Structure 1
């Protein structure tokens, strides 16, 4: 579905990501993990169109989308859950969803919004509350809901667990895993590799702006770099 091949992405003349090749297939959940500065968020910015590729290619279902603006990529079915949530704090939960729904199909808006409330019942009870007054976990639910109400085909999540208590991000992780089981493609950027491996079936380890390891979850669990840096000795079968 989505493929970056030999991609170079950066900020002006400064290149952060080098010769990056990754892919996400239809109905597949894939993660990117790596230390701060590895190029994870820059990669996402390249995917959604905020940072242009200076070389290499990005394709969607085999068609080059490197010249498309962010809103055009959103229309193709790529939706972002940004790092830090970035909800509209002065708007209500319902209004946040209504604004996001405009990026999706023009039909069934009310039905799509009610579908988000069905998925996240805690938001349903707060539909008239200002988003800025929600807890961090509720804001992350709303951020995911804003992406889902667009009816995407690929959900791109930047740091799902950032700033959240373990019990909350584990609940959200189960929600995302359910979306993947239902057939939605997911690309998850995470520093919490254990969480990422519970959600996804395949992944990449980035370091210095390039891929240094890739494989299925079971394959990556056997790699010493993953065990020592991210998994606390977690081995195959755990």
Structure 2
């Protein structure tokens, strides 16, 4: 079992502060969802956990150890896998070569995403956005990581493939953290931990059922047109 968390984390991009003392705790094996509109800080949460952006305050704690100063490549070596929203595959390599970088045997990836099999000889950079997403997720599934961070996993995928993707992520024996603009419909019936961010701060933390009830109350109290 692995857990990872931000504790009172602050991140700055030049003069702008993107995270204002954010605390997010993601237990594992389990799925944690970080929600927020563009500019809310949800992607920065993943980058801070992965070490691809430095903290200006606070800490990253992984399995009880402060890893704030541990570089991103070392976190990856220890079992952390980040799937960013963009540039998540090696475009100059074929689909097969991308998969082989993750594992010598990639049959399970093709079982998860059968649509990749006829594309094995294609260069990843020539794939559609949805196909590249499936390839990036396949590499994450093959990595057998202890912590898996995915920015908008269902982007460009059909509803059926998106539902399958969330099923696969939920079944991983890992601490899984995903960032989404909205709570995916497939997760509404699943037990998952939800954090909602707004303008770089946490405005809600709780389970999916609590978030749904809160969203319903907000919708019911909204003035009608």
TM-score normalised over the length of structure 1: 0.82
Within 5 Å, which residues of 2 pair with 1:10-49?
10-49=12-51
Distance in 2, matches of 1:200 and 1:69, equals: 32
SS of residue in 2 equivalent to 1:56: strand
How far did residue 197 of structure 1 move? 3.2
Long gaps (5+) in structure 2: 220-225
Q: Cα deviation per residue 1:151-193 (whole Å; 9 max; x = unaligned)?
A: 212211101233x25xx14423322323323433211100132
For 2:183, the equivalent position in structure 1 comes to: 193
Distance in 2, matches of 1:225 and 1:54, equals: 36
The answer on whether the counterparts of 1:221 and 1:227 sit within 8 Å (CA) in structure 2 is no
For 1:70, the equivalent position in structure 2 comes to: 72
Q: Cα deviation per residue 1:116-144 (whole Å; 9 max; x = unaligned)?
A: 22322221222111112323222111011
Q: Cα deviation per residue 1:28-80 (whole Å; 9 max; x = unaligned)?
A: 10101111111111111111111111111111100011111111111222111
- Cα gap change, 1:183 to 1:149, in 2 (>3 Å): closer
TM-score normalised over the length of structure 2: 0.87
For 1:149, the equivalent position in structure 2 comes to: 142
The answer on whether the counterparts of 1:85 and 1:140 sit within 8 Å (CA) in structure 2 is no
The answer on whether the counterparts of 2:10 and 2:55 sit within 8 Å (CA) in structure 1 is yes
State the superposition RMSD in angstroms.
2.2
Within 5 Å, which residues of 2 pair with 1:170-181?
170-181=160-171
Long gaps (5+) in structure 1: 102-108, 229-238
Decide which of 152, 159, 173 is 1:159's aligned counterpart: 152
The answer on whether the counterparts of 2:166 and 2:186 sit within 8 Å (CA) in structure 1 is no
SS of residue in 1 equivalent to 2:119: coil
